[in-house]
Amino acid sequence: MKAIIIAAGSGQRISKDLKSMPKSLINVNGKTIIDYQIKALKQAGINDITIITGKFGEKFKIKNIHYVKDSNHQNHDILGSLMEARKFLKDDVIVLYSDIIFEFKIIQQILDSKENISIAIDNNWEQHYEGRTEHPKSEAENVLINEEKMIVKIGKNIENKNHNVGEFLGIVKFSEQGGNIFVKKYEERFEKNNDKFHNAVPILKAYLTDMLQELIDQGIKIEPVFISGNWCEIDTIQDLKRAEEQFSN
């Protein structure tokens, strides 16, 4: 098993003082966000790690890591950054957003999935938004689950009283076959039409969730893994303070 961490973005939204700093290198109680991630991955036996960097890639000094430079990060969004490292999606791999901190057991839970494509989902997500005024619920990447426990929709601002709505953590597990499917479908869609792509115009501005929705619409199964455990996203200074409290030990 390998891991890819998409870390091309900066911490500008957290603070103007961090606009020249990769978000994943922001300190939380003396350790960077990516330090927490790498520790959890290694606890799970994942030592082959690739980091996708952006404009400030030279600030990463972590040894024994593969680096992929996303020179076009300003021209596309997170999906485009991941595609810069598509050659690493040919094996069993976990893909991570770089602005989340999580317990080791969350990685272990998604590793237990046997499906080709699996995503981590928190069903108790709304409690994370209590008092979170700088990052409201409307910005959550939600997942709609039907009565058969199948994912039918993924994206922002999903509300449905009759079905289960969770939050996507930003963790995806691909088998070798699943990674090949993901890349093939992306390339087919990119060549076919580079205009509107789900919530993005054009596809270069697409999120990872847009591509996951594309697969769902094509009838490709994506397994929901309902996680339990401590985790948080860090997108604002308020989030950073909350993370310092959550991971104080």
Within 10 angstroms of residue 182's Cβ, the number of other Cβ atoms is 25
C-alpha distances (whole Å) from 165 to each of 101, 122, 150 are 22, 9, 11
- Cβ atoms 165, 88 nearer than 8 A: no
Give me the sign of the Cα torsion angle 222, 226, 230, 234: positive
Whether cis (ω within 30° of 0) applies to the bond prior to 202 is yes
pLDDT in tens, 54-113: 888 899 999 999 999 998 888 889 999 999 999 999 889 999 999 999 999 999 999 999
- Cβ atoms 102, 229 nearer than 8 A: yes
Q: Enumerate the domain spans of the chain.
A: 2-246
pLDDT of residue 159: 80
Spatial distance between the Cα atoms of 129 and 156, rounded to a whole number of angstroms: 14
Q: Residue 5 pairs with which residues in a beta bridge?
A: 51, 96
pTM to 2 decimals? 0.94
For helices 176-192 and 208-217, angle between their N-to-C axes, nearest 10 degrees:
90
pLDDT of residue 82: 96
pLDDT in tens, 11-61: 666 766 666 788 899 999 999 999 999 999 999 999 999 999 988 889 999
Spatial distance between the Cα atoms of 31 and 34, rounded to a whole number of angstroms: 8
Identify the three-state secondary structure at position 156: strand
Amino acid identity, position 149? K
Spatial distance between the Cα atoms of 246 and 100, rounded to a whole number of angstroms: 12
Is it true that domain 2-246 has CATH number 3.90.550.10? yes
pLDDT in tens, 170-214: 999 999 999 999 999 999 988 876 677 888 878 888 999 999 999
Rounded (5°) CA angle 202-71-36: 100
Note the helical H segments in the chain. 33-43, 78-83, 104-111, 176-192, 208-217, 237-246
